[in-house]
Structure 1
Amino acid sequence: MSRGDDGRDTYREFTEAVNMKPGELSTWLETDESKQVGWHKGGRAGGGESVGHESGRKIINLLCRKRGDLSDGDYKHMRKVVGYVRRHMAQRPSGNVRDTKWRWSLMNWGHDPLK
């Protein structure tokens, strides 16, 4: 982590990118839609949890912790989340996105584009 800002910029960007509350994200991660999207390590045939779904669980943990308790690894994941949300938002499809895999994938990463 760049210690120049003591993580302030990363923390701010993360809390701006993640617009779902921990309970809301936890409930979402239990849905079939949440489990249908995302890239799986080893391919979908390998089963298991998608990268985004796993990230969602990490995000819940990060949101529930005090800022002073965050590690360099936590800040690294926060930057990964910010990057993912920014890249994905730039690819917004046209039309109503409410029931799209694009939105569901973003929600796994803690961002609901309809908020």
Structure 2
Amino acid sequence: MTRSNPEIDQKWDVFHRVVNMPSPELRDWLLSTPDGAAAYAPEPGIDVHELGGRVLRILEKRRVDLTDDDVATMQLVTELVLGRLVNAPPEESVNEPWRDTLLTLGHDPLRPDSPRGPDAEVILAATTATAP
């Protein structure tokens, strides 16, 4: 039996709270979007589509099978998603680039469990406080 690591456990829990799309839904979304959809990249130099593929692979893993790269990806995706939710545009439901980025990272901002503003800020602050 593998011992639990509290820091990784926390990242896993927050990641799975932030990534609110099940793997089949994310897979379908990634297959319907163009590779490297740079038009809605959250940060310069980040290939959102490739990052979404990494999210999908993590969703299909057990916690005990995570690699160091998986943990780093979970941290990055959590920060990117929450950062976008903290700064949600006023017309978010019609802001396709904003929503498309989040969908590609495994988060549907139109779901009722999607945190906004202060709620997202609290989660983001807790997550970045434990970042390596």
**What TM-score range do you get, normalising by the shorter chain?**
0.7 to 0.9
SS of alignment partner, residue 93 of structure 2: coil
Q: Decide whether the 8 Å contact of 1:62 with 1:74 is kept in 2.
A: yes
- 1:85 partnered with 2:81: yes
Is 2:75 aligned against 1:109?
Answer: no
User: What residue is the counterpart of 2:11 in the other structure?
Assistant: 10
Q: 1:54 aligns with which of 45, 50, 72?
A: 50
4+ runs of 1 displaced by more than 3 Å?
Answer: 32-36
Structure 2, unaligned runs of 5 or more:
112-132
Residue 84 and residue 72 in structure 1: after superposition, are their counterparts in 2 closer, same or farther (change >3 A)? same
Instruction: Please name the residue that 1:37 is paired with.
Output: 40
Q: Is the contact between residue 98 and residue 114 of structure 1 (CA under 8 Å) also seen in structure 2?
A: no
Cα separation, partners in 2 of 1:73 and 1:102, compared to 1, 3 Å:
same
Q: Greater RCO between the two (CA within 8 Å, min separation 6)?
A: 1
- The one-letter code of the counterpart of 2:40 is V
Count of paired positions? 105
Shift of 1:91: 1.5
Tell me if the contact between 1:56 and 1:108 (Cα under 8 Å) persists in the aligned partners: yes
Pair 1:69–1:100, CA change in 2 (3 A): same
Question: Per-residue displacement from partner, 1:41-76 (whole Å, max 9, x unpaired)?
Answer: 4xxxxxxxx611111100110010111110111111
Q: 1:86 to 1:20 in 2, by over 3 A?
A: same
Unaligned runs of 5+ in 1: 42-49
- Partner of 1:97, secondary structure, is helix
Percent of aligned pairs with the same amino acid? 28
In the superposition, the TM-score normalised over structure 2's length comes to: 0.70
Aligned CA RMSD, in angstroms, stands at: 2.2
Matching residue of 1:19: 20
